[in-house]
Structure formats: C-alpha cells, structure tokens
Amino acid sequence: MKLRKMILVALLVTLATGTLCARNVRHPRQLRLYVIDCGRLKVEDPSRFNFKKEELKVLDLSVGCYLIVHPKGAMIWDTGVVPDQSFKADGSPATKEYATATVPLKTQLAKIGYEPVDVKYLALSHFHWDHVGNASEFATSTWLVTKVEHDALFSSSLPPRTDASMFAPLKDTRTVMLPEADYDVFGDGSVVIKPTPGHTPGHRVLFLKLAKTGPIVLSGDLYHYPEEVNSNRIMQGDVVEQTAASRASLQAFLKQSGAKLWIQHDLNGFSKLKKAPEFYQ
C-alpha cells in the first residue's frame, strides 16, 4: 500500500512539472523538414550589417523554426523570437522588442501532430534572443549544444534582449556537448550539425540530406541577407576572421555536396517556402 502511494505521488509530481515521457508518435520512414514561421524582425537601419538601405531588396528579417522528423525521432532547430506565453487569448499577434509573431510555435507544432514532449532533440544555431525564444518548452528534449554556447546562456551576463525565462529549465535537462567537428545527429549522415563560429563562438549550421528535395543547409546567422553571399559584408559584432573562414568553409562544402543554402533570415526567400503542416522530404 505504501509503495502504491509513493508511485501515485511520483506520477502527480510528474504531471505537475510537465516532465512526461514522449507520446507514442509514429515517425515517417523518410526524413522530413517542416518549416515554421516564427515571426519577423523589423529592421529600420541595416548599418549594423554594414549595408545601406538602397543596397538591400528587403530590410526586414524572417524568423524561422524548423522541425526535422527522422525515423528515429524529431529535432527542433531554433525556437523563435517571441515566447508563446506572450500571446493573448484573443489570438492577436505578439511582440517582443522589434519582433512580431502571429501564431504560437506550439500551435503550429500541434497542426503537424507534435507537442514539445514528442521532440527528441533540441538544437539551436546559437544563443541569441531571436533563436531561443521558446527553448524552455523543450526541456524534456535532449539538448545538443556546444559548451561555449551553454556557458554563455548561464553566465552572469546574458546576451542583449534575452531573458532567463526563455531557457532556464534547460539547465537541468539532458545535454550532449557538441564537439568542434561535425555532429551526425542520427548516425546516418542525413542530419548533421556543422561548426561555423564567428557570429558567436559556438555558432552552428544544419545540413539536411532530403531524398526528394535534395541536400540543404540551414544558415543560422552565418548569413542574414542574400546580398552577403557575394559582397563579403560581415555583421558588426562578429569575429570577422572567424566568420569569413566559416563562410569560406561552408561555400566549399556547398560546392562539394551540391547542397542549397537556405538563409534563415532572408524574408523574401523564406516567404516562398511551403510552411507546416506541409513539408519537404
């Protein structure tokens, strides 16, 4: 009787804290990529990117989140800019600083058939506010992160516009510290996190080998605008030599692999992608 009571208490605690095991979600046989619209950043002055207004076709930046579904499990890549709890019950857009989002991330995941608890891995291109907005929602996932990025989030000095509520629960979550080399998430070469330091010390991009769409690379913030690709403009605050070297290395990889570069902040390019619950495979 005492044992049953202990089990019941443990179950109630689990329900209260949200630390439930993943539901029995059936994953597809082929790799899928779901593109999720997680908002927009208003850019009035692009000088911090070392551009003048007239040099760019579009000033504002998109904010994308990406659900990668592999036969062995699902991974979320970047979690948006506006936390879901910022949305009001009336369904109106939510804002944070100069960012706006129209639909909560969890609402969009639900349309795919997933909840955060169903996501096996959480991976962030880097620790800036417009990529970690809903990281806390994935505290039941295994966090794939470099030590330098992990330590930056839990240091005494947070990055600008970032608050601890975005990621605090991750401090106690299951964590895999990424190596300085490529990291093959599922062990078959189809989902690979690649080191591209410069924008932040532990910045990463994501390579996906999709059967029908072909190979692609999600850029993180290695690039913000397509105009950066050929102009060699580098954002203020980056370590210029590192970013330049990371770009050169990635361009060589793109040429060798035939992968297409998807610039996550390219609003024009992002608007043309099909959005979840549609998918690429």
- Dihedral sign from CA coordinates of 132, 194, 120, 170: negative
CB 205 within 8 A of CB 222: yes
Please report whether residue 13 resides in a domain.
no
DSSP secondary structure of 17-66: HT-PPPP-PPPPSS-EEEEEEEEEE--S-GGGGT--GGG-S--SEEEEEE
What is the domain-level CATH number for residue 38?
A: 3.60.15.10
Please report whether residue 212 resides in a domain.
yes
Domain around 266: 27-271
Lookup result for tokens 């880097």: 126
**Coil vs helix vs strand at 135:** helix
Q: Kindly tell me if the per-residue pLDDT of 21 is higher than 80.
A: no
Please report whether residue 20 resides in a domain.
no
CB 236 within 8 A of CB 198: no
DSSP single-letter state for residue 266: B
The two structure tokens encoding residue 87: 């949305």
Tell me how many domains the chain contains. Answer: 1
Output 246 or 23, whichever has higher pLDDT: 246
pTM of the model: 0.90
Encoded amino acid at 141, one letter: S
Q: In whole angstroms, what is the distance from residue 200 CA to residue 242 CA? A: 9
Q: Kindly tell me if the per-residue pLDDT of 13 is higher than 50.
A: no
Q: Kindly tell me if the per-residue pLDDT of 3 is higher than 70.
A: no
Q: Kindly tell me if the per-residue pLDDT of 10 is higher than 80.
A: no
- Residues 76-91 have pLDDT tens digits of 999 999 999 999 999 8
Please report whether residue 8 resides in a domain.
no
Please report whether residue 3 resides in a domain.
no
Confidence of residue 23 (pLDDT cuts 50, 70, 90): low
Please report whether residue 256 resides in a domain.
yes
Q: In whole angstroms, what is the distance from residue 187 CA to residue 31 CA? A: 13
Mark residue 161 as left, alpha or beta (left: phi above 0; alpha: psi -120 to 50; beta: remaining): left
Q: In whole angstroms, what is the distance from residue 7 CA to residue 2 CA? A: 9
Please report whether residue 79 resides in a domain.
yes
Task: State the average pLDDT over residues 184-191.
Answer: 98
Mark residue 8 as left, alpha or beta (left: phi above 0; alpha: psi -120 to 50; beta: remaining): alpha
**Coil vs helix vs strand at 143:** strand
Please report whether residue 14 resides in a domain.
no
Residue (of 92, 11, 99) closest to 62 by Cα position: 99
